Structure 1
Amino acid sequence: MIDGSEPQIAVITGGTTGIGLATARRLLSRNYLVAVFSQRQESVEAARDELAKEFGTERIFARPVDLAMPAQIEAFFVALGARWGTPHALVCNAGVSPKGTDGATPFNEIQLKEWNEVLAVNLTGAMLCCQAVGPAMMERGFGRIVMIGSVAARTRPKIAGASYVASKAALSGLTKSLVTNYAPFGITVNVVAPGRILTNMAGEPDTPTNRAALAAIPAGRLGQPDDVAAVVEFLISHEAGFVNGAVVDVNGGEFLPL
């Protein structure tokens, strides 16, 4: 177990927009070293420049990575290790949710290509990232892993398609297995399940979909990325060492698993 005096390194997948970027900003403000990646080079560059203006360049590590490409995941963690060492925390935030002009693909029309692509990013990519950091966390005797799930995997989905819902639900199963494997080594693994959060994926607030979502939220507002980032910050902290295998719902009361 480490004492917290050494610099803490956090990796955030999909860390260049939305929840991931808000988490990166929050952790940088708490003096973490933060590594982010996403698939698009322009998104990586924009996030890197934005964060560098606020926090300087020395605590930011940003690279383009396609989670569907295992070799790119491996190369990212090798490069990160050469620069800073192995991470103390991993936030598996990256996800894709295919939608057309009429919303998600109806179940009977889902093609195997879409199904495989969503699971490759949302589930298999998360698994590969855990494999990349797990052994070093075990050796260190400390680690924090947070999966970003979804309210769509916690209750009857209203907006998301079956491929997305299945991938996010599977993260909970993966988490259970990781708790069994990693808990004896001081590593915690938890899930944060956001509700309707105002990100690029959710679109503009004043759309029919978001107005309908708002009507179902007792808190009376749609979520902001920092609502989720605040929970992630706690779960990767030393203080959260006895929170393990939990699913934390961040949805304004839309879903109540009581």
Structure 2
Amino acid sequence: MRCRVAQRIAVVTGGTSGIGLATARYLLECGRRVAIFGQKPANVESAVQALSRDFGAEHLFARVTDLGEPSQITTFFEELHDYWGKTEILVCNAGISPKGADGPTPFQQVTLDEWNNVLSVNLTGAMLCCQAALPSMIEGGFGRIVFVGSIAGRAMPRIAGVAYVTSKAALSGLARSLIPANAPRGITVNVVAPGRIATEMAGPSDSALNHAAVARIPTGRMGKPEEVAAVIGFLSSDEAAFINGATIDVNGGEFAPV
């Protein structure tokens, strides 16, 4: 059942737009205190204004932070812990997926810079956030880590580039590596794998790529960020204590490993 327990402190990376912003809103509705960050100052400011208006500034902590810069991740968590004392919920949502006018970079043309940039944000950034958040979870005897993966990391990729696909698939390995030592401490680690969701990253809903995607989805539409946020919200709840090491697909049936 939603919103049954006392206030907890949650971090949502990339919490200024799309799935991340919807997740921040969902958690705030459940009485959490929520810390968000994003790379674009304008997005951070817009999110702060909207969330503060609806839930009160005292329930929100926000910073401009680049996941590709390890020192900025360290600074964010240090400032957060000085401000609120701990992290109990970590949603690793932030990600980048470089594309040109004709779609993702063909494999033979992927540069080392593109490869490293994507993995530094989507994978290494998530790992560093876990390193920063886990000590307070261990101390408190409670933790929820949710990685936002992708259908591209679960099935044959149709739209995403090789670096993005690799980074999202690797989050499952990161999750598995964290479970054995941390499960006895009340910490769970799960993955949510969205399909085609109507966000800025997906581009215009009437694009040729999105028309083709909708044609493949049995429900006949793209997903909503709020639908992914609801799954993340449950996995981060006290009630989800026995769900550990799961991957939850949110894709309208496009990929159905049943």
TM-score range, shorter-chain basis?
Answer: over 0.9
Query: For the residues of structure 2 that align with 1:67 and 1:119, how far apart are their CA atoms?
Result: 10
Q: TM-score, normalised by structure 1?
A: 0.97
Q: Which residue number corresponds to residue 53 of structure 1?
A: 53
Runs of 4+ in 1 over 4 A off after TM superposition: none
- The amino acid that maps onto 1:120 is S
Corresponding residue number in structure 2 for 1:146: 146
Corresponding residue for 1:166?
166
CA distance in 2, matches of 1:7, 1:156: 40
Number of residue-to-residue matches in the alignment: 255
Aligned match of 2:219 = 219
Q: Which letter does structure 2 place at the counterpart of 1:55?
A: F
Q: How does 1:118-129 map to 2 (within 5 A)?
A: 118-129=118-129
The answer to whether the Cα contact below 8 Å between 2:218 and 2:254 also exists between their aligned partners in 1 is yes
Per the alignment, residue 81 of structure 1 pairs with 81
Query: What corresponds to 2:13 in structure 1?
Result: 13
Structure 2 distance, partners of 1:241, 1:184, is 11
CA distance in structure 2 between the aligned counterparts of 1:6 and 1:236, rounded to whole angstroms: 13
Q: Does 1:231 align with 2:231?
A: yes
Please give the alpha-carbon distance, in whole angstroms, between the structure 1 residues aligned to 2:155 and 2:171: 15
Partner of 2:62 in structure 1?
62
Supply the distance in 1 between the matched residues of 2:27 and 2:135 (Cα, whole angstroms): 23
Q: Residue 58 of structure 1: SS of its match in structure 2?
A: helix
TM-score (norm 2): 0.97
Query: Hey, what's the Cα distance between the residues in 2 that align with 1:113 and 1:209?
Result: 26
Q: 1:39 is aligned with what amino acid?
A: Q
Could you tell me which residue of structure 2 aligns to residue 32 of structure 1? 32
Gaps of 5+ in 2: none
Give the fraction of aligned pairs with identical amino acids, expressed as a percent: 60
The residue that corresponds to 1:42 in the other structure is 42
1:133 is aligned to: 133
Instruction: Give how far 1:221 is off.
Output: 1.2
CA–CA separation in structure 2 for the residues paired with 1:240 and 1:87: 17
Once residues 146 and 65 of structure 2 are traced to their aligned partners in structure 1, the CA distance between those partners, rounded to angstroms, is 19
2:114 maps to 114
Residue 7 of structure 1 and its aligned partner are, at CA, apart by: 2.5
Q: Distance in 2 between matches of 1:182 and 1:61?
A: 26
Q: Deviations over 1:195-240 (max 9, x none)?
A: 0000000011111100000011111111000010000010000000
Paired residue secondary structure (1:248): strand
- CA-to-aligned-CA distance 1:179-200 (integer Å, 9 cap, x gap): 1221111100000000000000
Superposed CA RMSD in Å reads 0.9
- SS, match of residue 90 in structure 1: strand
What SS does the corresponding residue of 1:166 show, helix, strand or coil?
A: helix
Structure 1: stretches of 5+ with no match in the other structure: none
Does structure 1 conserve the Cα–Cα contact (< 8 Å) formed by 2:13 and 2:38? Answer: yes
